[in-house]
Amino acid sequence: METVDKIKQQIAENPIILYMKGSPKLPSCGFSSQAGQIMINIGEQFAYVDILQNPDIRAELPKFANWPTFPQLWVEGELVGGCDIMVEMYQQGELQTLVKEVAAKYKGEEEA
C-alpha cells in the first residue's frame, strides 16, 4: 500500500487521530507531549500514530497535509492543526467541544 493511501485510510478509519513523536504516555518531544496531554485531559478515545516508528508517514504526511510539523491532530478527516493551535483551542474550550461532539457521534454509531 502506498504511504499516502495508508495515511488516508488511517484518517478515514479514526475520527480522532493524532500524529505525533512517540505515544501519548511516552512522547518523544515537547510539542507531542503537550498535544498528547491535551487529548488525555479531554478524556475521549483517540487514535495516534508514532511517526518515529513510521518514517514513511513522517516523510509523506507533511506533503499530504500541507502542514510541515508534528504533532498533527485530525478530526473527521480534517486537519485541526499542530500543538500551538491545539493549545489555543483547548484554552478557549473549543477543542473539548469539537472532540466530545465527534466522539459522541461515533459512540452512537458503534452501538447502532
Question: Is 70 exceeded by the pLDDT of residue 112?
Answer: no
Contact (Cβ atoms closer than 8 angstroms) between residue 16 and residue 47: yes
Question: Is 90 exceeded by the pLDDT of residue 100?
Answer: yes
Nearest to 56 by CA among 12, 18, 4: 4
Contact (Cβ atoms closer than 8 angstroms) between residue 31 and residue 83: yes
Question: Is 60 exceeded by the pLDDT of residue 99?
Answer: yes
In the prediction, which pLDDT does 1 show?
83
Per-residue pLDDT, averaged over 65-71, amounts to 97
Domains and CATH numbers, the chain: 3-111 (3.40.30.10)
Contact (Cβ atoms closer than 8 angstroms) between residue 104 and residue 43: no
In the prediction, which pLDDT does 107 show?
86
